[in-house]
Structure 1
């Protein structure tokens, strides 16, 4: 009898640590419909994520999603290639169905004194002034139409240091980060990158 009570207690305890959150994954139309789900893992939070891409200072695309996420997946940051920029903003919470709103619109960032190389076509010797929380330099190589394109610029530490398997199966890119002014020359130190960014890099290269 005591064993049965213990087993029931463990099952109920495990259940109590699992949140119900809204899931909203955009379809082909770019919009999504909220659906209440139970998070698959204990310790996950309710999360809303906003990815905004800019080209030439104008908004190119914006994607809003909602789901369950671990605390380390709740990141804010940006990747800036000069001609284009992708900003990641997120909002996580720990109560039932608390992610009923989308992540906040990112605020306008200003130069922070850090400098990295940027590419203009095949010339990657230009200077880019990093903005906001961008404290790392980044190098990216994507292949489109059989041609390899190199992109260089600035990135936030949280984007560079955090790994996510959210879109591990998506189209990828060779990405590396380093710290220090102009460190993203021909040789850069590899670091983990938010895999969700990889298809956005491809989008930027194709635009």
Structure 2
């Protein structure tokens, strides 16, 4: 066996054998203290860390998630009752730090409409890198489910592939995502968008 073939085989062995390692946890109580290291499957090339804060009946629920991802983006989203921040990286164990609580982001002066299940005439203050207004709709059983809010441009680009969502649009400028009524609870669609960001 000549030297070139030997070097090539060694290169293939060393590069093919390396898989990305990320931390994994699902902190449903707001903590990732029990995070564990895991080897990512083929097809996943990034590590992610996500923090979501929900307001339900005056109670704040804080969730954290870390895992491997096929693709993800850095940014945040505010859908009125759910705020999410995501961080994405591509080196071994780079998601050791928790993503900051999105409710601590500094308001940036922009406002967007959001839906509360009854009406989409509510406004929310955008913060941090949230520089776009989002509108997402799904038709289900002849009724329309609508979600609106603030989103970072980077996350706006990833939400176009959310399964079961018929249309997603982002726009620039205060209150550019318009007012419209909703005829059905929007929690399903809201959860679909957040789940996509968390698990995609």
Into which bin does the TM-score normalised by the smaller protein fall? 0.5 to 0.7
CA offsets per residue over residues 11-54 of structure 1, 9 Å max, x none? Answer: 13423764333344689xxx986352155259x34433333333
The question of whether the paired residues in 2 share the 8 Å contact of 1:23 and 1:68 is answered with no
The question of whether the paired residues in 2 share the 8 Å contact of 1:23 and 1:37 is answered with no
User: Any stretches of 5+ residues in structure 1 without a counterpart?
Assistant: 188-195, 203-207
The question of whether the paired residues in 1 share the 8 Å contact of 2:49 and 2:98 is answered with yes
Distance 1:6 1:163, change over 3 A: farther
In the alignment, what sits opposite 1:67?
Answer: 68
Among candidates 105, 112, 117, match of residue 109 of structure 1: 105
Q: Does 1:132 align with 2:134?
A: no
Higher relative contact order (CA 8 A, sep 6+): 2
CA offsets per residue over residues 104-154 of structure 1, 9 Å max, x none? Answer: 434512432212233465543444332232211111224568642323222
Instruction: Measure, in 1, the Cα distance between the counterparts of 2:58 and 2:127.
Output: 13
Instruction: Measure, in 1, the Cα distance between the counterparts of 2:82 and 2:167.
Output: 17
TM-score when scaled to structure 1?
A: 0.62
CA offsets per residue over residues 64-122 of structure 1, 9 Å max, x none? Answer: 1222555xx24121233x3x132123263624x45445444345124322122334655
Instruction: Measure, in 2, the Cα distance between the counterparts of 1:39 and 1:158.
Output: 24
Q: How many aligned positions are there?
A: 183
- The CA RMSD over aligned residues, in Å, is 4.1
Instruction: Measure, in 1, the Cα distance between the counterparts of 2:138 and 2:154.
Output: 22
In the alignment, what sits opposite 1:191?
Answer: none
Instruction: Measure, in 2, the Cα distance between the counterparts of 1:5 and 1:102.
Output: 43
Among candidates 150, 157, 169, match of residue 154 of structure 1: 150
Distance 1:198 1:46, change over 3 A: same
The question of whether the paired residues in 2 share the 8 Å contact of 1:119 and 1:152 is answered with yes
In the alignment, what sits opposite 2:78?
Answer: 79
In the alignment, what sits opposite 2:38?
Answer: 36
Instruction: Measure, in 1, the Cα distance between the counterparts of 2:123 and 2:133.
Output: 11
TM-score when scaled to structure 2?
A: 0.64
